[in-house]
A and B are shown apart, each in its own frame.
Chain A
Amino acid sequence: MRQIPDDVKAHELDLVWQQVFTWASWAIVAVMLVIAWRMCRRERTPFYLLACLAAGVAAFAEPLYDVAFDLWFFDVHHGQHGAAWAHFTAFDVVQPNWTHSGYVILYSSACLYVGRAMFEGRLGRRGLFLVWLAEMLTSCVFEVVGTGTDVYTYYGSYVLRIWNYPLVIGVLEATQVVLFTVLAVQIRKRVSTPWGLTALLAAFPVTMFGANFGIGSPVIIALHLDDPASSRGIVWVATVLTIGLCVVAVNGASRFLPRPTGVAEPDVVPAEPALVG
C-alpha cells in the first residue's frame, strides 16, 4: 500500500492560514450562491445553484483524489494530531471542511461566468480553450497559496512544479471543469423539467474522475511505481502525455458545445415523413 512520508504526516499545520482558507473560501461561496440565486431567478432555472451544490456534495469524494495524487492535508499542531477543522477521514486522509467550499469555487464558477453564454451557443472552440486557460490560472493561484502556506501539500515526486504546485494538477483540474461545464449545459439544454437538472449531481463526480483519474492515469501510476527516484523519466513522459490528453479532451468537448440560439441541435430530427417506417 502507499506510504506517506513521516515528515509529511508530522508537518505542522499553519493555523492562521487554516482560518484564512476556511473563512475566506466560505465567504466567497456565500457570494457565489447569492449570484447563482439571482441568475436562477432571472433565467427561471435552478441550474446555477445546482451546479454549486453538485460540486459541494462531490467534495466527499476528495479522499480518493488525495490518495491518487499524493495530496495530504496537514493536521498537526505542536506535535498533536487533530488541528485541522475536519468533518471526516477516509483512506487515512483528514478532510478539512473547506474542501467543500474549495470545490464550489474552483469547479462550479465556470457555470456561473460562462454557463449562460455556452447555453445560448455564444461560446466557440477558442472561447472554450480560453476558459480552460482561465481555470488553469485560477487553480494555480488557489493551490499555490494552499501549498505554500502549510495548509496542505502534494508530496509525490512530481515534475513541472510551480513553487510547490504541480502544473499537471492544474491542467487536469481545468480539463475537469471544462468537461463538467459542457455536460452540465448540455443537460440543461435537454431536460424538460427543473427536476431533471438534479442530474448535475451525477454529472460532477463522473466528469471529475473521468478527467483526473482517466486522463490523469499515466501520471498517477508513474508517481507510484516501486522506485520513484529511478522512475523520474517515466514521470516526465507521463506528465507530458497527460497534458497532451487534456488538450485532446478539451478539443473533443468543444465538439459538443451547444449551437447558437435558432440553430437546430443535431438531435432535433427534421421531419421526413416519407422515411418513417
Chain B
Amino acid sequence: MQFLKIPDQPPAPPYGLELNTTMQTVATVVLWLGTVLLLGYAVRMALRDRSPFPVLLVLAVAVGSIIEPIYDIAYHLHWLDDGEQWTLFTSFGLPQPVWVMPAYVMVFGLPALLFHRSLAAAPSLRRVFGLAGITACTTAAFEITAINLDLYVYYGEAPWRIAGYPLWIAFMEAAQITGFAVLAAVLSLRATRTVHLLAIFAIFPANFAFDVIGAGFPTIIAQNTSADPDGLLLFLTAFVSVGLAATALWWSSQLLLTVRRTSLPASAADGTEPSVEAAARASSRPSSFVPPRPGTPGRDHQEIA
C-alpha cells in the first residue's frame, strides 16, 4: 500500500515567460506563406500525376496538427503566452499558436511530399535512414532556433539538452517524419482506388503517436514520475526511446520494401541500394499490388518510377 504523500508532479509549465511577439509575426507569416506555396506545388504535382494524393498528403498533415497538445503535455512543451499569443485553439489548457498548423505542414509534410515518390520507386534502408539523419538535423535546427527566439520552451528536467533543446526529441521526430514519408509511399503503391488514398488522414496521426508517444514512453513516464526526476535515469531511458523509434522506422521500412519487393529484382530485395537501372527495369513491369489501369494513383507511380 502507498501511504506516503504523493509528491508534486510533474513540473508546472513556466507561464510567466514572455513571448517574442516579433518572432511570432515572422513565424506566422513565413510558415503560412510556405504552406500556401507548398500546397500550390502539391496541386501542380497532383494535376501532373492525375492523382489527388499530393494534395491529400498536405491536408492530412494540416488536419493532423490538432494532435499537438498531446505532444505538448507528454514532452513538456509550453508555447509562450503572456496574453500576446495569436491562439488557434486551446486544449488541455495549452493555447496553440496559429503557426502550429503551417509548422506541421512545413516540417512534417514537406519531406513526405518531396520524398515519398522516390521512396516508392526505389526504396532501401540506406535511403530511409539517410533521410532520417537529415530530418533529425533539420528538426533540431528548427527547434533550437524557435526556442532561442522565445517562441516556446521545453520545461522541466529533460535528457540530452543542447541550447535549451532536449536533443533526443530530434531523433524521435526524425523517425516520425521519415516514417510518414515511408508509409505515404506504401499507401501510394497499395492504393488501387482513389478513395483508398483517404487513409492518409488516419496514417498521419497514427504514425505520429506510433513513433513519438509509443516509442517515447519510457522517457516520458520517467520525466513525469516526479517533479525532479533522476538525470541519469532520463539519460538512459532516452537511449531506449530512440532505439524503439529506430525499430519502428525499420519496421515501416520493411513494409515498404515488402510491398515493392515483388516488382523489384533480387538485388534490391535485401534492402541494399538498387541501381537506377534496376529500379527502372522493375518499374517497367506491372506491380502485383497496383493494377496497371490508366489514371489510377498506382499507375501514376509506375510512370513516375
Q: Give the number of A-B contacts (CB < 8 Å).
A: 175
Q: Are A206 and B261 in contact (CB under 8 A)?
A: no
In the assembled complex, the CB of B65 is this many whole angstroms from the nearest CB of chain A, namely 10
B224 interface residue, CB < 8 Å from A? yes
A233 interface residue, CB < 8 Å from B? no
Q: Are B4 and A266 in contact (CB under 8 A)?
A: no
Q: Are B224 and A218 in contact (CB under 8 A)?
A: no
| 8 Å CB contact of A205 from B10, B13, B244 | B244
In the assembled complex, the CB of B252 is this many whole angstroms from the nearest CB of chain A, namely 10
Encode B172-199 as 1/0 by CB contact (under 8 A) with A: 0000000000000000001000000011
Q: Are A249 and B202 in contact (CB under 8 A)?
A: yes
| 8 Å CB contact of B202 from A94, A203, A245, A267 | A245
Which chain B positions have C-beta within 8 A of A199? Answer: 247
Encode B231-270 as 1/0 by CB contact (under 8 A) with A: 0000000000000100110010010011101100111010
In the assembled complex, the CB of B202 is this many whole angstroms from the nearest CB of chain A, namely 5
Q: Are A224 and B92 in contact (CB under 8 A)?
A: yes
Q: Are B206 and A275 in contact (CB under 8 A)?
A: no
Encode A239-264 as 1/0 by CB contact (under 8 A) with B: 00000010011001001000000000
Residues A64-101 near B (CB distance < 8 A):
64, 67-68, 81-92, 94
Bound form: Cα–Cα A89–B229 in Å? 12
Q: Are B265 and A272 in contact (CB under 8 A)?
A: yes
B214 interface residue, CB < 8 Å from A? yes
B138 interface residue, CB < 8 Å from A? no
Q: Are A1 and B210 in contact (CB under 8 A)?
A: no
The residue on A at minimum CB distance from B255 is: A256
| 8 Å CB contact of A2 from B93, B198, B258, B262 | B93
Looking at chain B's contact residues, the main secondary structure is helix
B30 interface residue, CB < 8 Å from A? no
Bound form: Cα–Cα A19–B187 in Å? 48
A277 interface residue, CB < 8 Å from B? yes
Q: A61-B217, A266-B261 are in contact. Are A210 and B90 (CB under 8 A)?
A: no
User: Which A residues contact B (CB, under 8 angstroms)?
Assistant: 1-3, 58, 60-61, 63-64, 67-68, 81-92, 94, 183, 190, 199, 202-203, 205-215, 217-218, 220-221, 224-226, 245, 248-249, 252, 255, 265-267, 269, 272, 275-277
A-B contact pairs, 9 of them (CB 8 A): A64-B217, A91-B10, A92-B9, A199-B247, A210-B210, A214-B209, A226-B91, A267-B262, A269-B262
User: Which B residues contact A (CB, under 8 angstroms)?
Assistant: 1-7, 9-10, 12-13, 64, 66-67, 69-70, 73-74, 89-94, 190, 198-199, 201-202, 205-211, 213-215, 217-218, 220-221, 224-225, 244, 247-248, 251, 254, 257-259, 261-262, 265-267, 269, 275, 277-278, 281-282, 288-289
List 19 extra interface pairs beyond A61-B220, A89-B7, A218-B66, CB under 8 A. Answer: A1-B12, A82-B1, A84-B1, A84-B2, A85-B2, A92-B10, A190-B254, A202-B244, A202-B247, A205-B244, A214-B67, A214-B202, A215-B205, A217-B67, A220-B70, A221-B70, A226-B91, A266-B259, A269-B269
